[in-house]
């Protein structure tokens, strides 16, 4: 059985609807893990994060388990708590976020009493990370993680998911992101994130990824993905309606990876990712109720 380790931060999500707020659980790599598992139930998907000892942490771990995601790699830290974020959306479905996460437990990922330890990842066939997973770590831990990954042949899937406020400065974000792109076997960038971080235009982004050597998909929203590493020419049907674009990229990653890890061709995987995202953006919040997906 193919084993996948998704690594990152699970948070309490407040989806604002007028004066009311719906409370849920989400996080970029967790969103991908959920849509990956739903799209390919035969895969073993485990989530790596740190939580506190508070009721919200209990809620998050229970939610992850309810999604058939393994929680054996979830570490609970006494006195800590998870991060929280609120989503607001415009009439055309575009979203904005407000975060409370500066002291979140997930910032202690991979820490042990003897220092950092990444060895548990070696038991997996694929490790999935994002720029958020990496940005919340101290710089020394980021560099140690890169060094560990460079010394192991485990497959790495990566999405830069650039969030400027999580990084010390843009230069650090550029250097670390560039290093992860060069190590990644499966690259899952979004064109908007790459332009925001590195500048240029879509053509410049495309040319840059041709030089990295991995496979994957450049996400372009309603225009559909552009294949990385293998020429694919095909059309993608847009979503019939867009209510909330939260987790559009995350759900694409889940659908794409599920297809690819199940033996689908690159063209089939690109279609699967786009179809998953096109479905998810028709609903509010990051995670579509199970009966709807």
Please list the active-site residues. Answer: 250
Q: Which residue has the tokens 């209510």?
A: 243
Rama region for 210: left / alpha / beta (φ>0; ψ in -120 to 50; rest): alpha
CB 215 within 8 A of CB 185: yes
Distance in angstroms (rounded) separating the CA atoms of residues 136 and 107 = 5
- The SS3 call for residue 156 is strand
Where in the chain does DSSP place strands (E)? 3-7, 11-17, 20-26, 44-51, 74-76, 84-89, 95-100, 111-112, 115-116, 126-130, 155-159, 186-187, 215-218, 226-228
Report DSSP state, residue 238: P
Number of Cβ atoms within 10 Å of the Cβ of 292: 10
Exposed e or buried b for every residue in 262-278, given b needs 16+ CB within 10 A?
eebebebbbbbbbbbbb
Distance in angstroms (rounded) separating the CA atoms of residues 157 and 43 = 15
Strands 11-17 and 84-89: parallel
């Amino acid at each position: 059985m193919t084993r996948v380790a998704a690594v990152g931060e699970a948070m309490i999500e407040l989806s604002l609807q007028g004066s009311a707020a719906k409370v849920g659980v989400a996080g970029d790599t967790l969103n991908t893990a959920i849509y990956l598992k739903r799209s390919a139930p035969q895969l073993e998907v485990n989530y790596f994060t740190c939580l506190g000892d508070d009721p919200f942490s209990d809620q998050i771990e229970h939610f992850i388990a309810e999604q058939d995601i393994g929680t054996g790699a979830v570490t609970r830290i006494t006195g800590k708590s998870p991060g929280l974020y609120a989503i607001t959306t415009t009439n055309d479905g575009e979203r904005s976020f407000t975060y409370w996460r500066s002291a979140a437990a997930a910032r202690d990922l991979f820490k042990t009493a003897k220092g950092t330890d990444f060895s548990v990842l070696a038991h997996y066939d694929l490790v999935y990370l994002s720029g958020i997973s990496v940005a919340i770590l101290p710089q020394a831990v980021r560099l140690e993680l890169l060094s560990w990954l460079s010394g192991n042949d485990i497959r790495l899937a990566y999405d830069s998911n650039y969030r400027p406020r999580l990084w010390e400065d843009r230069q650090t974000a550029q250097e670390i992101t560039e290093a992860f792109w060069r190590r990644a076997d499966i690259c899952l960038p979004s064109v908007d994130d790459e332009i925001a971080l590195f500048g240029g235009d879509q053509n410049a982004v495309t040319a840059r990824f041709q030089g990295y050597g991995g496979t994957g998909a450049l996400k372009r929203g309603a225009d559909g993905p552009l294949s990385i590493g293998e020429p694919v020419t095909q059309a993608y049907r847009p979503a019939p309606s867009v209510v909330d674009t939260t987790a559009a990229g995350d759900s694409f990653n889940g659908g794409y990876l599920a297809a690819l890890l199940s033996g689908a061709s690159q063209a089939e995987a690109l279609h699967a990712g786009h179809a998953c995202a096109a479905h998810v953006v028709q609903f509010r919040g990051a995670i579509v109720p199970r009966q709807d997906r």
